[in-house]
Every structure is written in C-alpha cells, then in structure tokens.
Amino acid sequence: MANVPLGKKYWTLWASSSISNLGDGMRIVALPLLGYTVSQDPLEISLILTLSSLSWLTFGPLAGVLVDRLTWRRVIVFGNGIRFPLVGLFAGLVAAGETQMWHIYMLAVILPVCEAFADSAAQPAISSLVPENALEGANSRLFTARMLAQDVVGSPVAGLLFGISASLPFLLDSISFGVSALLILLIPVAASDTCEPLKNDRTTRSIISDLKDGVRTIWQQPLLRTITLTNAAVNFSLLLGTAVLVLFAKEDLKLSDSSYALLFTSAALGSVLGGLCAPRIVKRMGSGPALACAIGVIGMSRICFGLSVGPVTATAAYMAAGVAFALWVVAASSYRQRVTPQELQGRVYSAALALGHAASVVAALASGFLTRTLGARTVMVLGGVLVLGCALACIHTVRKVTRAEAQEYAVPLAGKEDEVTP
C-alpha cells in the first residue's frame, strides 16, 4: 500500500489540541494549589474533583448526542470559545486576591461542561481526518503532544508561575483556549464532517433514543464493553488517591510546589515514551492483551507510589504509570474509533466517559472520608491494590478477543485505505 501523510487538517487539529493542553497543564496544577492556599481540609479539596466529575457526568452524554447531530468543528469551537473568557475572568479574580473556595468550585463545575463538548467532538474528528489503519499512529501523536504540552511543559511552568503570581497560570490557560478555537476555524468544512443519517432524523428522535444507541453499541461488542467497564473501575480506584494527591505530596512526601509539579512532568515523560511505543505494542500483542498489561502496570505503579518515602521513588513510580497509561489510552481510543460507526462516535465516547466520571464522583467523595480516617498514604496503596484487581478481572475477557474478532466488528471508513507515513 502507498504511504500517505496524515494531512493538513489533522495537523491543524493536532496544533489546536496541543495549545489548549498547554494551558490545561498549568491550570490542573494551579487549581489545587490555589485551593490549598484557601483551605487545607481534605474534604473541601477533594470536592474540587468531585464537582468536576459530577459536572461531566451530568452533561457529558448530552454533549455526545449534540456532537453526532452537529459538526465536530462547530462543537470544538463552541467548547473552547466559552472557556476563553471564563478562565480569563477567573484569572482576574485571582489577581485581585478575592478568591474563595466557592469561586474554585464554580470553575470546577463549568469548565468540564465545555470540555465535554470539545473532547467528545475530537473523537469523530480524528477518525474522519485520518485513514482507518492509521488510527493508532494518529492517536499516539495526539496523545504524546498532549502529554508534552500539558505535563512536561505546562506543569513545571505552572509551579514556577504560581510562585510569581497565582493568576498567571489561569491567564495563559485562557489565552490557549482562544488560540485553539481560532485554529479549528481554519480547518475547511467538508461534507464528511457531518453525520447525515442522524441530522436528517434529529427532529423525530429523542435524546434518550440517541443515548440508547450509544449504550447499545458499547454493550454489543465484548472488548468495547470490557474497556468501558474496566475504565470506570480503574477510575474509581485511582481517584481515591488522586483526589487528595496534593495532601499526600505536601504532608507525606514533603514536596515543594515545584516538586509537586514535577510529579506531573515525570508522568508525562513516561506517557510520551508509552505513546511512541503504543502502536508497535498493540500491533504485536493485540488490543486486548495490551490493555490488560497496561492496567497491571498502572496498579503496581500506584502501590509503589503510595509506599514512597521521598521524591525520587515517587517520581519513578509516577513515570512508570505514565508509560502504561499512554498504552491504555492509545489502544482503547483506536479500538473504539475503529469499531464504532462515524455517526455514533460522539455518543459512544461520551457514554463511556460519563460512566468513568460517575466512578470518579463516588471515589472523590469516598476519598475525603477515607483520608481523614486512614491517611493519604493508605488510600494511595488501597487504590493500587484495587487496580490490580481490575486487571485480573478483565484478563479472562481480553485474552479471548483476538485481532480477527476485533476485525469482525470493525466498521470500514470509506476511502481510507492507505497507511500513514511514520
């Protein structure tokens, strides 16, 4: 087969995603640090993540329906266009020194709604812009760029900027959304950007009916169902510790602001390595075994992180988890895009993420209470043990799903038969 490039449209999408992720990396580090300056209560801090997940859970499925009814281009511009002024106003509030916990909670509620629209639209965007047999490569490049921008660059810069002025990370995050939206507007509109079957029927179909189609698609395909359920279980297990990560880093590991940000950087470096290797690993092992392997490594890494006594071992454990996480994301995303019809991708993706966020809400709520009772270190280790349990529970299913079985469910994308240039 002839090799063809991914194309200008894909790389414009890639640039837009990378820039917005750079700003996200700053905010992800800065928001809990800002919360810590206002309150050191574990329950109040974990509530930031709880509200974010609850917001995604509430509006995520609706976003998936709208993505399948509209063009992915419009939806991404809408999501980033709303976040641009919103985060800018919050940066001004922080600069004025008037921040209270309820301000942080409001941002934690509103931003995920916009994120739900942008992220759900990105899935059909990728599969509509690249060849079907280049999905692993396209997802790998997008994920690697995300990690580099968000964590390798954004996170450490956020720690430094936060020390200068707490408002700077949020200001740059706001600007990144504006630039990202403009780049998406530069992508020419194509007929394939819309899903005609659903558009023509949208006046007679209810949102509930559309949501059922997405859930049915997930449930009818064994590995896709396993990926979705396992992702939710792993989310719950990891979020038990992640919700109070800043407390564990500050009080148990005694990390400075910059060292805390370095945890994200180490995970990102691991994710870059994992993202680069993921296409080859999936090709050699198959989607199912690669996913099971990734979950096992994530569980072991979280246990090692929870048992860490200093920044060196903690950073190494976080990096190992990053490698495995990248493998999981690339393999799961590519498989989902490959077996899901184009007109259903928004709903399938949002339904899967809604379930994951539901698990996150429960985990974040439980995390605050468990940390008060057991301590952050015990909660970290407990989360790792549960992830290992998830790996063992799904191995039986994923080992039965071979590449031939995956191909049976695949939905060919017309006109996308050439391989991508590395």
Structural domains counted in the chain: 1
Residue 280 counted as domain residue = yes
> At residue 409, does pLDDT exceed 50?
no
pLDDT digit string, tens, across residues 254-294:
877 777 778 877 887 888 898 888 888 888 887 778 888 89
- In the predicted model, what is the mean pLDDT of the chain? 79
Q: Is the pLDDT of residue 415 over 70?
A: no
Q: b/e for 218-233, b at 16 or more Cβ within 10 A?
A: beebbbbebbbbbbbb
Domain holding 297, by residue range, is: 3-187+206-410
Residue 416 domain-assigned (yes or no): no
- Cα gap 420→135, rounded to integer Å: 9
Of these ranges, 324-333, 393-402, 409-418, the one predicted with the greatest mean pLDDT is: 324-333
Q: Which residue has the higher pLDDT, 407 or 236?
A: 236
Distance CA 57, CA 155 (A): 26
Residue 334 lies in a domain: yes
Contact yes or no for 261/158 (Cβ under 8 A): yes
pLDDT (average), residues 29-34: 84
| CATH number of the domain to which 128 belongs | 1.20.1250.20
Tell me the C-alpha to C-alpha distance, in Å, between residue 150 and each of 2, 85, 134, 157.
34, 20, 24, 10
Tens-digit pLDDT profile for residues 356-380: 878 877 887 788 788 888 888 888 8
pTM: 0.71
> What Cα–Cα distance (Å) separates residue 317 from each residue in 138, 270, 292, 302?
27, 10, 19, 7
Condensed to tens digits (0 to 9), the pLDDT of residues 116-136 reads: 788 778 878 888 888 777 777
Q: How confident is the model at residue 398 (pLDDT cuts 50, 70, 90)?
A: low
Give the pLDDT confidence score for residue 300 in this predicted structure: 92
Six token digits for residue 2: 């002839």
Looking at residue 183, what is its pLDDT?
92
What is the pLDDT at residue 59? 79
Token match 């079985």: residue? 405
In 193-310, which residue ranges form alpha helices assigned H by DSSP?
Answer: 196-201, 207-220, 222-242, 245-247, 257-285, 287-306
Is residue 417 domain-resident? no
CA dihedral in degrees (277, 338, 147, 145; nearest 10)?
90
Query: CA–CA separation, 289 vs 397, rounded Å?
Result: 10
Confidence band (pLDDT; 50, 70, 90) for 331?
confident
238 vs 30, 86, 363, CA distance in Å? 20, 29, 8
Instruction: Give domain status of residue 219, yes or no.
Output: yes
Degrees, nearest 5: CA angle 152-158-163: 140
**Best-predicted range by mean pLDDT (16-30, 33-47, 292-306, 395-409):** 292-306
- Residue 147 in any domain: the answer is yes
pLDDT digit string, tens, across residues 73-115: 888 898 899 999 999 999 999 888 888 888 889 888 888 888 8
pLDDT at 3: 47
Residue-wise pLDDT for 131-166, tens only, equals 777 777 888 888 888 878 877 788 778 888 888 888
pLDDT of residue 414: 39
In a domain, 198, yes or no: no
pLDDT for res 392: 82
Alpha carbon distance 250, 255 (integer Å) = 5
Q: In a 3-state reduction of DSSP, which class is residue 401?
A: coil
3-class DSSP assignment, residue 145: helix
**Closest to 114 in 3D by CA, of 83, 88, 89:** 83
Residue 412 pLDDT > 50, yes or no?
A: no
Q: Which helix (H) or strand (E) holds 420?
A: strand 419-420
Contact in structure between 306 and 380 (CB atoms under 8 Å):
yes
Q: Which residue has the higher pLDDT, 408 or 264?
A: 264
The SS3 of residue 157 is helix
Return the pLDDT at 411: 46
Give the phi and the psi of residue 420 in degrees, each rounded to 5.
Answer: -95, 150
Highest mean pLDDT among 20-34, 248-262, 264-278, 293-307: 293-307
**pLDDT tens profile 162-217:** 888 888 999 999 999 999 999 998 887 665 554 444 444 554 467 777 777 778 88
In 3D space, the residue among 358, 326, 271 whose CA is nearest the CA of residue 57 turns out to be 358
pLDDT of 30 reads: 86
Amino acid, single-letter form, for residue 34: L
User: Is 297 contained in some domain?
Assistant: yes
In angstroms, how far is CA 233 from the centroid of its own chain? 15
What does the pLDDT read at residue 401? 59
More confident of the two residues 299 and 53: 299
